[in-house]
Amino acid sequence: MNEAPRPVIVLREVTKTYALGEISVQALRGVSFRIAAGEYVAIMGPSGSGKSTLMNTLGCLDRPSTGSYELDGVDVGTLGDNALAAIRLKKLGFVFQGFNLLARTSALKNVALPLFYAGMPSRARNAAAADRLREVGLADRLDHKPNELSGGQQQRVAIARALVNDPAVVLADEPTGNLDSQTSEEIMALFEQLNAAGRTIIMVTHDEEVAAHAKRVIRVRDGLIVADERTAAAPIG
Amino acid sequence: MLQYLLEALGVLWANKTRSFLTTLGLIIGVMAVIAIQILGSGMAGAVTGVLGAINDKSFSIFPNARQADFTRAAISVAEIDRATRTVPNLVAGIPLGSTTLEVRLGTAHAKLRLAAESDRRFITSPIRYGIGFTREQIAAGAHVCILLDTAAAKLQVDGDPVGRSIRAGDRRYTIVGVLAKSTSGIVPNVIQSDVLIPYTSYERDYARGRPVLGARFLVGDAGRLIDTENATLAYFTALKHGRALYQTIDRKTFASAVDGIFAGLTLIVALIGAVSLVVAGIGILNIMLVSVAERTREIGLRKAIGATRFQVLAQFFIEALLLSSIGCAMGLVLGLAIGAGVNEIALVQISGVVAPIPWLRSVLIATSFATIVTLVFGTYPAYRAAQLDPIEALRYE
């Protein structure tokens, strides 16, 4: 296979073991893969397969028990909490199933939030946030609060927020799980558009139809990768 | 830092109701404490006022209330006269007590309190018209009177009324003088009166040999006041063959009694204030904790997008700091308004003494409460928020 020249994600024999009382549960039992810049990957698996743990590990919310994880050239397995937070801030963008927008806060402020933690001054924050909202087609909704927006619009705001710090990787966790099929299509189209523009996207889903939009599908079961394939439609690159 | 402040303000403003309810306890607590301590200094002013009104050359003597047979210690006006003549350094004595009568002057009438006075003046308010009683008027038990400012007002005296007569019950008294309002504070109730008549007239017309409430004496040498009080106590005790108990009150003992009462009141009130602030603080703690629970997903999100523990801690801490500062500032303003208002209406009107409002102390109290409440009750929720695991927090429903 033709790997892209620059890998943004390199997982080597990653395991993750949780201690639940006296029993320890091995959620990941040796996962290795690399994802190149510009890829659009779907991670699939039934519940309990370890895909959430994998997602948390990729999102630097959790550290692997053994193995190594290199994100954009940084070995994150050895980093402390604050360094992990900095990695999440600079290199990752999250899109959640439940949108997770701040209530009673405008779309603009929601999108600008990561830049606040990056220490950017307020004026620059708002300008960058407005740009991203335009990019996701919400130029006329800057001052709307989440409860004044439809589900699809809320997810667009969340995507704009994920993009605002210009991350190396966008991580989407069941991004269409709370949306109807037509809105899902719109969101998927947006992801494709972002990928076409060069964004690296990793999406966790259990929906084959959604996964079909990705160019590569990694299937997880019982903490192991059982399949890693390019989808028919997708050109490699 | 400014960024955090603005961000926290934004969060608080976006959740106005929650913010207001959080501060409510603090507003009320600080308001109460500030108002109370302004009233406290107002009361202290009033005490000073009372002191000013009491002649520092006078003292009163009463039968001690804690004796089996109270009547055995009863004092009559004749005995007061004898004491005045016998005990060294006593220069005048009058019976304590008053009688309330319907008093008329021309067409005006009012219910007024008549009390006894001597030619040596016990009531030292400045004279507005006329003169005090003469020695002859006292000796003769003349039908004359002096109006205090309260009586002059109630009888609608306009101009100089000296020479006119009032009718009290079925007796007439010719007005020989009118007193102006006392310049120095309130007069204790027991020596409060509206119309003064010679004590000899008071005895003949109203007391008529019956026991009176007590006696007031004037001394010649104020430096020997205590000795004279003791001598007078001894005189009356001997007069009753040692079978009666008496007590004296002068300016000093009265002041210390009043001070004691106020000190007790202030302590109680301060305790209530402290308790209310603790309750307010716990309210803030509770609402902040609830807020952390409610905002778990928000905290999870903030951490997921890259907020460090310290940043979350700082955010919640600054929110708590802002809430308590705003609460304390509002409490301070309300407390000052209420304290100053009640002080003006209730205390200044009565005592005529304007006590300075302790601005600095009020601000210091409010500031220290804000600090304490933030540190004690704001830190823990902030710490809890900062410790949340983002994965758990994001999953939180």
Closest residue of chain A to B1, computed from CA coordinates? A119
B306 touches chain A (CB under 8 A): yes
Which tens digits make up the pLDDT trace of B58-91? 898 988 878 877 778 889 999 999 999 999 999 9
Domain count, chain A: 1
Q: Provide the pLDDT for residue A32.
A: 95
Is residue A110 assigned to a domain? yes
Check residues A141 and A20 and name the one with the higher pLDDT. Answer: A141
- What is the spatial distance between Cα A180 and Cα A25, in angstroms, rounded to a whole number? 35
B9 touches chain A (CB under 8 A): no
Instruction: Take residue B328 and report the two structure tokens written for it.
Output: 């304390």
Are residues B96 and B188 both part of a single domain?
yes
Q: Provide the pLDDT for residue B349.
A: 64
- What is the spatial distance between Cα B15 and Cα B31, in angstroms, rounded to a whole number? 24
CA distance B325 to chain A (A): 23
Give the 3-state DSSP-derived string for chain A, with helices as H, strands as E and coil as C: CCCCCCEEEEEEEEEEEEEECCEEEEEEEEEEEEEECCCEEEEECCCCCCHHHHHHHHCCCCCCCEEEEEECCEEHHHCCHHHHHHHHHHHEEEECCCCCCCCCCCHHHHHHHHHHHCCCCHHHHHHHHHHHHHHCCCHHHCCCCHHHCCHHHHHHHHHHHHHCCCCCEEEEECCCCCCCHHHHHHHHHHHHHHHHCCCCEEEEECCHHHHCCCCEEEEEECCEEEEEEECCCCCCC
Q: Is the pLDDT of residue A234 over 60?
A: no
Is residue A16 assigned to a domain? no
* Spatial CB neighbours of B306, under 8 Å, sequence gap ≥ 6: A85, A86, A87, A88, A89, A90, A92, A114, A117, A118, A165
Which tens digits make up the pLDDT trace of B170-216? 899 999 999 988 765 555 555 678 999 999 999 999 988 888 888 99
Which tens digits make up the pLDDT trace of A125-172? 999 999 999 999 999 999 999 999 999 999 999 999 999 999 999 999
Domain count, chain B: 2
Residues of chain A found within 8 Å of residue B298, distances taken between Cβ atoms? 100, 102
Are residues B139 and B261 both part of a single domain?
no
Q: Provide the pLDDT for residue B202.
A: 94
Q: Counting one residue from A and one from B, how many pairs have CB atoms under 8 Å apart? A: 66
Are residues B94 and B208 both part of a single domain?
yes
- State which of B234, B251, B268 marks the end of a domain: B251
A109 touches chain B (CB under 8 A): yes
Range of the domain at B40: 2-52+256-395
Selected residues 362-391 of chain B with any CB under 8 Å from a CB in chain A: 390-391
Is residue A15 assigned to a domain? no
The residue whose two tokens read 């000093």 is B252
Are residues B322 and B353 both part of a single domain?
yes
* Out of A86, A100, A122, closest to residue B306 by CB: A86
- State which of B251, B273, B300 marks the end of a domain: B251
Is residue A52 assigned to a domain? yes
Are residues B127 and B262 both part of a single domain?
no
pLDDT in tens, chain B (397 residues): 777 888 888 888 888 887 887 788 778 878 888 887 787 777 776 666 656 666 778 898 988 878 877 778 889 999 999 999 999 999 999 998 889 999 999 899 999 999 999 998 888 788 899 988 999 999 999 999 999 988 999 999 888 999 999 999 889 999 999 998 876 555 555 567 899 999 999 999 998 888 888 899 999 988 899 999 999 999 999 998 888 889 888 878 877 777 787 778 777 877 877 787 787 778 777 877 777 777 788 888 999 999 999 998 888 888 888 888 888 889 889 988 888 888 777 766 666 666 677 778 878 887 887 788 777 777 888 888 888 888 888 877 6
Are residues B285 and B328 both part of a single domain?
yes
- What is the spatial distance between Cα A31 and Cα A230, in angstroms, rounded to a whole number? 18
CATH number of the domain at A131, please: 3.40.50.300
Residues of chain B found within 8 Å of residue A87, distances taken between Cβ atoms? 306
Are residues B77 and B209 both part of a single domain?
yes
CA A109 to chain centre: 21
Is residue A71 assigned to a domain? no
CA distance B339 to chain A (A): 38
The ipTM, to two decimals, is 0.89
Taking Cα atoms as reference points, which of A62, A51, A119 lies closest to residue A88? A62
Taking Cα atoms as reference points, which of A96, A31, A35 lies closest to residue A61? A96
The residue whose two tokens read 């007078």 is B232
Are residues B44 and B75 both part of a single domain?
no
CB neighbourhood size of B207 (10 A): 19
Are residues B210 and B266 both part of a single domain?
no
Query: Cβ of B305 and A116 within 8 Å?
Result: no
Fill in the amino acid letter for B331.
G
Q: Provide the pLDDT for residue B249.
A: 85
Q: Is the pLDDT of residue A237 over 70?
A: no
Mean pLDDT of all residues in chain A?
91
Q: Is the pLDDT of residue A6 over 60?
A: yes
- State which of B215, B232, B251 marks the end of a domain: B251
Instruction: Take residue A182 and report the two structure tokens written for it.
Output: 């037509």
Q: Provide the pLDDT for residue B357.
A: 74
Query: Cβ of A82 and B15 within 8 Å?
Result: no
A74 touches chain B (CB under 8 A): no
Is residue A162 assigned to a domain? yes
* Spatial CB neighbours of B323, under 8 Å, sequence gap ≥ 6: B12, B19, B22, B23, B26, B284, B378
Range of the domain at A143: 39-65+79-230
Selected residues 87-106 of chain A with any CB under 8 Å from a CB in chain B: 87-90, 92, 94, 96, 98, 100, 102-105
Are residues B247 and B260 both part of a single domain?
no
Is residue A8 assigned to a domain? no
Which tens digits make up the pLDDT trace of A50-90? 898 999 999 999 899 999 999 999 999 889 889 999 999 99
User: Which of A55, A61, A148 should we substitute to test contact with B (largest number of B Cβ atoms within 10 Å)?
Assistant: A61
Is residue A58 assigned to a domain? yes
